[in-house]
Amino acid sequence: MTSYQLDVLLTESDLRRALQEDVRAGFGAPPGRRTLPPKWFYDERGSKLFDEITRLPEYYPTRCERAILGARAGRIMELVAPSTLIELGSGTSEKTRLLLDAGRETVRTFTPFDVSESTLRSAAEDLSRRYPRLAVHAVAGDFERHLGHLALLHSPGGPAGSGQSAARPPGPWLLAFLGSTIGNFEPQRRRAFLGAVAAALSPGDWLLLGTDLVKDPARLVAAYDDGAGVTAEFNRNVLAVVNRELGGDADLDRWAHVARWDADQEWIEMRLRAQGRQTVNLFDLAMTVRFEDGEEVRTEISAKFRRPGVSAELAAAGFELREWWTDPAGDFGLSLSQRR
């Protein structure tokens, strides 16, 4: 029988309210500045499409990061010797199992942190079977809002409202934020997020951060505009989510997928471009939005990084870069930093 704990900080009503707020703000912006946040890609279908994307020949980041983790997991666990491993945006925690395998002697608690309660339950059950000596304490929440909960997990009184009392186990924490998800934040939000991560950790704790690196723009664009059209379908899926959850009538066939490199910002932008003038009704919001032919809605940025910039941003948040690894081609960077 498997055993795990799950703290649910986001209910279905919380998620629906957040989607309503994001769509009101994003679609209510002036033409040319309309957006939808990328977190709404990931319903059940979107998650399956993204899993398919990670296996495409054009999409190198997942393969590169997994290869680096496979080669360096032993070194990471030897250097850190963490008592607790935390993963933000954990999903199925597939790559993180490389760390758990290498850290069997020291890791006592694993905390996967994700917005999807159902995904966490499935992953936690599997992890409990695979690692029977590991305490799995999952958190269903928004890591931009709920990082403070981490400090409560192993503190006197336990998680808020739990009535439990637990002392933080000896040994540092290792917080993993993989997949270059950090690249979805614009610089100001990125600074705020890294500051919140530092505040959730104690001096001596560690951050393992995955960052996609600047490279030939043609390769970058291809990774977000594959020949099979999977990424295009993934991009349009955000409109399917809006339609289903908010009573929308957007015609997905009238929106084209766009991926382009912004050399000034050094990020990839994914957009949806209206094919012909059209009107989208969002009946649950009593909202009607008109789009001109060719008008675009930005659905994602994916910033690309250079080592000096990563080091500087980490230092500004209170971390010291201790180790830096890349794949042989230098496509992807994995950094290990310690909280000062």
Q: Is the dihedral of CA 196, 201, 203, 208 positive or negative?
A: negative
Beta bridge mates, 296: 273
What are residue 21's phi and psi, to 5 degrees? -65, -40
Asked if residue 65 lies in contact with residue 35, where contact means CB atoms within 8 angstroms, the answer is: no
Residue 143 placed within a domain: yes
Considering its fold, how many domains does the chain have in total? 1
Beta bridge mates, 273: 256, 296
- The C-alpha torsion from 182 through 183 and 186 to 188, rounded to 10°, is 40
Asked if residue 175 lies in contact with residue 208, where contact means CB atoms within 8 angstroms, the answer is: yes
SS3 195: helix
**In sequence order, which residues have a C-beta less than 8 Å from that of residue 30 and are 6 or more positions away?**
none
Return the amino acid letter for 106.
Answer: T
Place of tokens 């060719």: 294
Instruction: Give the span between the Cα atoms of 215 and 49, in whole angstroms.
Output: 25
Boundaries of domain holding 86 = 58-215+305-339
Q: What is the pLDDT of residue 160?
A: 43
Beta bridge mates, 6: 138
Mean pLDDT by 10 residues, the chain (340 residues): 86 94 98 96 92 97 98 98 96 94 96 91 94 95 91 59 56 96 97 96 97 98 98 98 98 98 98 98 98 98 98 98 98 98
SS3 113: strand
> What's 137's domain CATH number?
3.40.50.150
SS3 242: helix
pTM: predicted TM-score of the whole model, two decimal places: 0.94
Other C-beta atoms within 10 Å of 292: how many? Answer: 11
Q: What is the pLDDT of residue 150?
A: 87
Residue 109 placed within a domain: yes
Residue 266 placed within a domain: no
Residue 101 placed within a domain: yes
Residue 112 placed within a domain: yes
Greatest alpha-carbon pair distance for the chain in Å reads: 61
Instruction: Give the span between the Cα atoms of 269 and 155, in whole angstroms.
Output: 41
Q: What is the pLDDT of residue 209?
A: 98
For the chain, give the number of residues. 340
Residue 259 placed within a domain: no
> How far is the CA of 134 from the CAs of 8, 82, 201, 309, in angstroms?
20, 13, 21, 36
Residue 130 placed within a domain: yes
Instruction: Give the span between the Cα atoms of 213 and 61, in whole angstroms.
Output: 9
Instruction: Give the span between the Cα atoms of 282 and 103, in whole angstroms.
Output: 49
Residue 273 placed within a domain: no
Question: For the CA atoms of the chain, what is the radius of gyration?
Answer: 20
Asked if residue 99 lies in contact with residue 76, where contact means CB atoms within 8 angstroms, the answer is: yes
